[in-house]
Structure 1
Amino acid sequence: MTVAVMSNVDLGAQIDPQKHELNVSRLVAVVLLLFNGVPEGVTLGYEAIAQETGLPPEHLKRALQSCGKYKILIKEPKSRIIADTDTFTFNRGFSEKMLQIKIQTVASKVENVVEQKDTQQRVEEARKHMAEAAIVRVMKSRKTLERNELIAEVITQLQIRFSPSPAMIKKRIDALIEREYLERVSHDR
């Protein structure tokens, strides 16, 4: 099952004595609506919430964690980590000065080592192409240029997007020379 959290929902919540408008993601709205009409003091366990909503565990845990900042749901035992044995109670004593509250969804888990390496490789590849394009642009406009001047000008152009290292630019210059997009002056090494 694929779950996309692309939109937000505005929920009207009458929490004695005030009425609040909660702007939440669809997943958080599904979880909060489970507590609609539940008698005061009744708790719902994580397993019961999971069974009622049918949400995948990673999305359900994120939705439940999102309710923690404003303490709309009270979790037992108190901790940030959501376990299968946790219970949740709607906070009837909820009070907030603002009538409109935007509840942000907690960010998804951090990339694992393999995903980080893959992302890093894609970023490096994109930066190589940007560096080569900048080198070619500079050389087309200047025709001839000393290596250090070329490196300095390319760094200046690329600093808007990222901070390139001179070593990386030197490698890209060498790669362009190898592929015959650039050539060295014959009397100067």
Structure 2
Amino acid sequence: MHTHTPRFLTIRTAVVAATAAAASAFAILPAATPAAPAAAAVLEIPAAVPGAGAAQPAVAVTAPVVETAVKPAASSKSVLSIVMSKLGAPYRYGSAGPSAFDCSGLMYWAFKQAGVTIPRTSRAQSTFGTPVSKANLQPGDLVFFYKPVSHVAMYIGNGKVVHASTAGQPVKISTLASMPFSGARRI
């Protein structure tokens, strides 16, 4: 068995610590964008280990720091206008546009056009975002119906929703009270 000197163990410990620190730093950095300028951050890890003898010089690890432009979430108004642009589009079970939709496919497609990815099914959408009470609905909120949830629409204000309702019916506006309310979410 090979024995290592205290100095080797000190340097090895510093390298392992620096590698772990660099990995942690990279794990929290956002992804790079093509136009992002690169800078550098230096993590200094002391190489001395208590009880290992004389202190060694610090080990520096250089990691790129990348600035990214954070894309803001889509506004409720923009997603609502996207959904409204599909009034009259045919209903087709399992479809997520751009020419035919089922209820959750319409919401999925509209948010995707605005740069936001939401779950594909009405049941999964009913757990996404922030819960909203019926009394606090705002235009652009997703409204869910039936228990268990099996239908989704978008609130447009004044007690009305827009949705892809059922086979033989195009994307249309209906009253909120026309279906049994189950809950609402704000994305």
TM-score tier by shorter-chain length is: under 0.3
Higher helix content, 1 or 2: 1
* TM-score normalised per structure 1: 0.21
* TM-score normalised per structure 2: 0.21
Higher strand content, 1 or 2: 2
